[in-house]
Amino acid sequence: MSKRKVVVGLSGGVDSGVAAALLVKQGYEVTGVHLHLWCENQNIRNKGYKVEAEEAARRTALQLGIPFRVFNLADFFKDKIVDYFLKSYGDGLTPNPCVRCNRLIKFGALYDRIRAMGYDFLATGHYCRIVAEVPKSRSKVPNKKVFHLLAGVDKNKDQSYFLYNLTQAQLGHLLFPLGELMKTEVRKMARELKLPVAERPESQEICFLAEKDYRPFLERNIAGRIIPGEVVDGQGKVIGRHRGLPLYTIGQRHGFELRSKIKNQRSKIIPPYYVVRKDIARNRLVVGFGAETEIKEFRIKNQNWINPEAELRIMNHELWVKIRHGGEILKIKDQKSNIKKKEVVILLEEAQRGISPGQSAVFYRKRQDWEVVGGGIIAV
């Protein structure tokens, strides 16, 4: 039998480098591909950052003895990810560009391209797992495999939240070599193999930003939509000023100028105000504290179910949801589909603060481990 051909997305980081090394060791015919994506002007960003990442990926491929290619997706990335990010914040939403990038770039444009080139698999350094089974199902196709997306063993690094848009067809052609490993093990392997990426630091969450804080990026690119306005409490009383609605997220504590400070009443005890919602029409930031900042019920649109054939059965089982990466997996008390509006309405067991329109809500179910069954976009 000929070797199975796999492309590994080499970002220039330690995770993808070790993923490639593991696949070479397992006997796959491996090719490394680095994606050239859009980022801000190099004079704003740390000079040479992208060049350094590409060079690290190239040196890793050279050491492993595998072919190396660079795909230029900069314009596509700018159009589909960066411009979406800017428009969403301008519209008062809180987008998740990493979820969208995984859907449209890594497991969209890259996946489609390498499959058309004849490769059997696409592999990445994501911390998650794929399990295949042949269920005793009602499927019309005998011995049909069903693929399940599970959380990574390292719960501090688990990235399954970002991948809820994957499909059964894609999961059959994906490899996640790090899913069973802890990050400490991965770093140790990189050092033992003397990979050029062994000591590279963790990448920042949003790769195209010049700073860790997204707000300066917004101020540089959508200044016309960042208009100062009033901060009001739940009763509509004006209590301060904000710098511009795109600079705030639901659940954010403070960050705005309260009227008591304007009047130099510094001795007055100010309650811990949180952003409750954005009144786009009146350019007002609505804030509150305590129970008024928390909600139990919210809507989800643009859903994807990893196994659409089992959607109805899944919805009838106990489900959990995660409303932000790094957040807790929350118990769902009740859920129901609105077929006409193509929405799912979720009722949580306990009220939560910071459920932000535009963010992803990802559905999990508990089997032997946490399994991602689907997700969508929050529309409170």
Structure tokens at 106: 């890594």
Is 207 a known active-site residue?
yes
CA dihedral 179→183→188→193, nearest 10 degrees, is: 50
State the Cα–Cα distance between residues 98 and 86, nearest whole angstrom.
14
Please tell me the distance from the alpha carbon of residue 66 to that of residue 64, in angstroms, as a whole number: 6
- In order of 97, 339, 360, the CA distances from 351 in angstroms are 26, 25, 17
Q: Which string of b and e fits 114-149 if b means at least 16 CB within 10 Å? A: bbeeebbbbbbbbbbbbeeeeeeeeeeeeeeebbbb
DSSP assigned state of 277:
E
> Which entry of 39, 98, 128, 207 is annotated as an active-site residue?
207
Query: Tokens representing 350?
Result: 């306990």
Pairwise CA distance, residues 244 & 335, whole Å? 35
CA distance 208 to 217: 10
Catalytic residue among 39, 98, 101, 128: 101
Helix (H/G/I), strand (E/B), else coil: 117: coil
Rounded Cα distance, 134 and 337, in Å: 28
- Specify whether the CB–CB gap between 102 and 14 falls below 8 A: no
Of 314, 5, 8, 20, the C-alpha closest to 148 is: 314
Instruction: Look up residue 278 and give its DSSP letter.
Output: E
User: Looking at the annotation, which residues are catalytic?
Assistant: 101, 207
